[in-house]
Chains A and B, each alone.
Chain A
Amino acid sequence: MAGQMVEIRWHARGGQGAKTAAMFLAEAVLEKGKYGQGFPEYGPERRGAPMRGYTRIAAEPIRRHCMIERPGIVIVLDPTLLDSPAAGVIAGTDSNTVFIVNTTETPASIGAKIGIKGADVYTVDATGIALDAIGRPIPNMPMIGALLAVDELMTVDELKSALVGLLGSKFSQAVIEGNLAAVERANKELVSA
């Protein structure tokens, strides 16, 4: 079972919505007949502090309840975390790991910072897209859009429909529309090395 399981580790700063994204993705894959498990790592929670989130996706119910030590996919919402060894972005990664980084820099330049030989590095300006489309620098949902360009966990339309379900009761139509547009754009604008 471990072989088929997708394990994603999220690196972000408090307030960027990584917790929401990690848990939402676990919920969204249910519609695809898959099982999801999503959880953040809780510490002293405060806006701006480095934090990690985790999402597991599998065809079978997920039984293990430990942290993800060897992620297949690492999603970085704040590229300055790459400069902080304490954030542990590269911990447990190797040439098979896929990195998706929210940045205006190129995959080559980010890849050099990550320094894992052979790892696939993708970049997308999710914060810029979020500012444009939503009006707020919340890159979490665009990063899921970008993820779908790398791993077809579901279609972008399926993601958008799940997103309406998540945001529908809490946010204005403008915020919802903005998120949908941002997801679509990030999916198209992801850059590979």
Chain B
Amino acid sequence: MEQKLVALSGNEAVAYAFKQARPHVAAAFPITPQTEMMHKYAEFVANGESTTEMILVESEHSAMSAAVGSAAAGARTFTATSSAGFALMWEIVYVAASLRLPICMALVNRALSGNINIHCDHSDSMGGRDAGWIHLFSENAQEAYDNGVMSWRIAEHGDVRLPTMVNYDGFIISHTADALHMLPDEAAYDFIGKYQHKYSLLDVENPVTVGPLDLTDYYFEHKTSQLAACARAPEIVQAVSDEYGELTGRHYSFAEEYKLDDAEMVIVVLGSSAGTCKDVIDEYREKGVKAGMLKIRMFRPFPNAYIAKILAGRKAVAVLDRSASFGGFGGPVFTEVRSAMYGQNVPVHDYIYGLGGRDFDLSQVATVIDNLQNVASGGELEDVNLLGVRL
């Protein structure tokens, strides 16, 4: 498929990806660094490129509430937010997943307050990791766009019907002009397909009840069906990604495996930091150091068995967490990866880094690889470490 090479910010790229699905409704409230994404979308609507009905609400709680109402009515619906905006949606984020509404959301990752900070970390999305959404992470504008297009197919698939969030790093991706290939509108829409809602509140011939009181009698069974949907989702994520790969030549899976074939040491990471890791890994490879990287794309559902298999037999693993779990044992990614590695004799260590947008530079990657080499040869290291901070 011929695709145009363009330079866009991550926010613009995702605005295009969502527009190409021809959604019926968008409900959003502005917050930095998401604002520019909805700004771009509003421009599409204003100049007639999109017929999406925009609901300009007075808060993010209302944005997600409007999205739930719209999706329950049978409309293809999206929203977008960051940081405190996501936190304010909290209650309804769970409702969207519980009602199995295939809403798509751009979550432009930003630190949570306080103190107030507009820059990137993953504490916003990690706060919602148990809410029942599918979480896709993106390394750059290209991946944010690609995840944006694929998110509709994943969310709306009959075996899934779970809301899906496309995560991309605030400013680092959202506000950086970057080169990417974009599908023509028609081709993207052909791939995404016309939305076929399963139940609609507006279908008076086939009335349904949405979100009633659900007590000791059935609540647990409904949660069980949600758990089952999460368990089915990875297979669909892979199938949709394979089809997208055939169309675009860009292939995705649960994670990207970078120089892992013979890697003795592996860095596990999410988001834009992966690109910086790749450059430094290449430098170490030239020196004969067998380092590699596993970039997790699908953090929810967490691909437990896949992670256990791909990291099996490595000499050392370093997990990079761009969020802290206060009072917990390491960051959220570490907790998952170490748990997945239960029973294996592979040392797994954690690094908390980049909070509030602290630059993740080349020297930090070098520190991690140096430590990996030390651990691989029997050296000691704290389970949880801090990277790039003044102590």
Contact = CB atoms under 8 A, between A and B. Distances in A.
Interface in B1-49: 5-7, 9
**Interface size classification for chain A:** 20 to 34
Interface in A13-72: 22-24, 26-27, 30, 35-40, 42, 61-67, 69
Contacts of B5: 30
B6 A65 contact: no
Given A66-B276, A69-B361, A39 B179 contact: no
B279 A39 contact: no
Contacts of B273: 65
A140 to B, nearest CB: 14
B276 A39 contact: no
Chain B CB count within 10 A is highest, among A35, A63, A67, for A63
A86 interface: no
A50 to B, nearest CB: 18
A112 interface: no
Interface string A1-21: 110000000000000000000
Contacts of B230: none
A65 B7 contact: no
Interface residues of B, number: 28
B275 A42 contact: no
Interface stretch (B168-176, B311-319, B377-385): B168-176
Interface in B163-205: 169, 171-173, 175-179
B175 A42 contact: yes
Contacts of B360: 65-66
Nearest to A23: B177
B30 to A, nearest CB: 15
Given A23-B177, A37-B177, A38-B177, A65 B172 contact: yes
Given A30-B7, A42-B118, A42-B119, A63 B178 contact: no
A2 B279 contact: yes
Nearest to B141: A37
A40 B169 CA distance: 15
B359 A66 contact: yes
Contacts of B7: 23, 26-27, 30, 36, 38
B173 to A, nearest CB: 7
A66 B179 contact: no
A66 B278 CA distance: 12
Contacts of A40: 175
B77 interface: no
Given A27-B177, A37-B178, A63 B278 contact: yes
Contacts of B172: 39, 65
B226 interface: no
B362 A64 contact: yes
B140 interface: yes
Contact of B178 (A22, A26, A67, A69): A26
Nearest to B179: A35
B275 A39 contact: no
Nearest to B274: A63
Contacts of B272: 65
A165 B111 CA distance: 36
B144 to A, nearest CB: 12
B359 A67 contact: yes
Interface in B240-297: 272-273, 275-276, 278-279, 282-283
A1 B175 contact: no
A38 B179 contact: no
Nearest to A42: B171
B176 A37 contact: yes
A39 B361 contact: no
A63 B360 CA distance: 13
B177 A65 contact: no
A188 to B, nearest CB: 27
Identify the 4 closest CB pairs spanning chains A and B, nearest first. Answer: A63-B275, A27-B7, A39-B176, A23-B177
Interface of A: 1-2, 22-24, 26-27, 30, 35-40, 42, 61-67, 69
Interface of B: 5-7, 9, 118-119, 140, 169, 171-173, 175-179, 272-273, 275-276, 278-279, 282-283, 359-362
16 contacts: A2-B283, A23-B9, A30-B5, A35-B179, A36-B7, A36-B179, A39-B171, A39-B175, A42-B171, A62-B178, A62-B275, A63-B278, A63-B279, A65-B169, A66-B360, A69-B361
